[in-house]
Structure 1
Amino acid sequence: MIPYGRQDISQSDIDAVIEILKSDFLTQGPTVEKFENSVATYCGARHGIATNSATSALHIACLALGLGPKDILWTSPTTFVASANCALYCGASIDFVDIDLQSHNMCVKKLEHKLIEAEKTGNLPKIVMPVHLTGQPSDMAAIKVLADRYNFKIIEDASHAIGAKYCSDNTTVMQSNSDSASNENFLPIGNCQYSDICVFSFHPVKIITTGEGGLATTNDNTLAERMQRFRSHGVTSNPSDMFERPNDEIWNYQQTLLGYNYRMTDIQAALGISQLGRLSKFVQRRHLIADVYNEGLKDLPIALPWQSNQSYSSYHLYVIKINELDSPKTQREVYDILQSNNINVNLHYIPVYRQPYYEKLGFKQGYCSNAERYHKSALSIPMFPKLEKIQQTKVIEILHEIFS
């Protein structure tokens, strides 16, 4: 079976993990901080806060921004359920902004319209969470303009997007196999120029992996400190954050808020540091694979991934869309044929509000028409650095047979 995604583990990754296993610290040691600093430096952010998953990072990001029972978070419906669940963990309400049918990210025009209507009824969101779907950056500059106008905070769900970049001005580039977005006009996702917090995922199918794991970047010192405390039981050892206690009692730590055990281990962090050293090569390899798909599939009655000329995608996923008006096969038929040929395609994603749990909250089919249209046409075909030429050729050949 050819998977749709797979980690790339090298001998240097293995050696890095073994070194930690032989050290004094398996967790809560210096390697986690080194990983945090490495990611923050790569992104150009002031702080990095590592967690045991991206879901945990999203949760503490919401908590750090003060999201609570009387608040609302808006996100994209075309995402994994964690993007919405983190709001419910805080007791807040959740709502969705429909996607743009070209980028498949949150539609800025629909966001603006929804904000105009929400302001009239006093239901503006406290947080808006755009998702960089497949590694294609959202239009963060435009979303930040709306944030300043309507006074909401921004958390970027960049679970797909470490290694992606966007243009900081109006410069445009052509997508290429090399890191063409390495010039000074391009900023890495995670720099937080247009957001309060940005969250990455290091699940095995993501661009780089720590096994499981996540990390939040921010440029705000207070948000960083709050996230650090929330991820570790709400405990602090910083004297300036501790409450006064009798001098004859030893108080070398205090729990000052209700936190969680969301800590990353040094084992995971060591793997992450090693993987981070190959991040650019991983993304360049994904672009090469995408180029082969683009050439091999260009004449079929399917839509290939759109790429903005003002950003540089990390190409976490390669999503094709089946146009049932032009195609002799339905999305379901294509899915079944590929699976029967040992090609493990996937669907990213079913609109979150269509999930049974969210339907119980009152959401109905038809709420976000673009997201539902995308859901009924999209398939993620194999995309990972170790995808072999013979495997990719098979995928292309089977798709040609399907549409012949």
Structure 2
Amino acid sequence: MTQLQFNLDMDVLKDSVLNSNLTTVVKSALILILNEFMEKERDEYLQAAAYERSNDRLDYRNGYYERELVMTMGKLTLKVPRTRNGGFSTDLFEKYARHDQALVLSMIEMVVNGVSTRKVTQIVEQLCGESVSKSLVSSLTQKLDPVINQWANRALNTTYFPYIFVDAMYIKVREDNRVVSKAVYIATAITNDNKREILGLSVDHVESYESWCRFFQNLKSRGLQSPKLVISDAHQGLQKAIQREFVGTVWQRCNVHFKRNIITKLPKKDSSDFRLMIKRIFDAITIEDMRKFKDELMDKYGNEPKFEKALSVLDEGFEDTVQYMSFPEKIRVNIRSTNSLERLNQEVRRREKVIRIFPNTQSAFRLVGAVLMHYQENDYSLRTGLYKSRDNKFLT
């Protein structure tokens, strides 16, 4: 094992102690240690110490060159030994390259977790004493592209997903010197083992029948089989795309969205009894009771004009909203709404707000994909319907 001997320049250390802070002292000492380490590496390579005559000598010393090493305490300028024939190479920078990689990964993780590029540059400068540009941080995040593309295009034919949730959210993207709205399509699913998985995403133009068809076709091209049930809101283009791309699949209208649609049509005053009866309908245990309570509501308020719009919404969408009652009782609570997907959208929105306007579509796909991958691996519970919140409580 190499024995390191240090001829410390006490004047340097004394000056550091008297005229600077502790970090500078540590940096000065570390520079001396690392320089001496490389000296010993060169001695072992040459098989001869300084000024030593040896028949086993492989080469001769040829001075030094300076090279910088960035560590968490800042930038270190080291004296790297050279040999006459140039065959010597130190292992020091290879060993410490992991620190550079850790720094890069940390910067990328900060961006994924919702820290703006401006704040990332400030944090790095505080930690390392070196400034980095926002463009560098942005370019580093592009390293995520191959990983995210591989995840977003992974095969789906190894598992059957009987229940699929789909939804779209809107973001702002800069395109052709204009700021436009684009839709982010996200699909999640539940397996027969009651495990959740994020199936995929897409960034496309405004939500439409054609764009939903393209999204579903992409999922099918990756091996997705037609599910038993698709749960979503009542977007007409989405409904039509489900019918076309998944023949024989039942559509479940989101229970929560449906009730909101009814409530928005109610008068602001004197509607508390109506609201209680709506709650009674969807709290019923059997489909027969649900239909019975719905008919009672229709009979009671059918002749009152102020409830006409709310009753029309209820009557029109009721059957599509109770499709989950045809499935096993243990799974009903998890498939009656898109609440699970809405929570996922909130995680994406929390990070998207930091950026506000994406520079292009690819950057939007990159960030949303990174958030979804992170959420799948860390926060998205394998048990159906359970999501870990920030205070470690479980939400149903």
Instruction: Report the TM-score, using the length of structure 2 for normalisation.
Output: 0.22
Q: Which of the pair is proportionally richer in helix?
A: 2
Instruction: Report the TM-score, using the length of structure 1 for normalisation.
Output: 0.22
Q: Which of the pair is proportionally richer in strand?
A: 2
Pick 1 or 2: higher relative contact order, CA cutoff 8 A, min separation 6: 1
Larger radius of gyration: 2
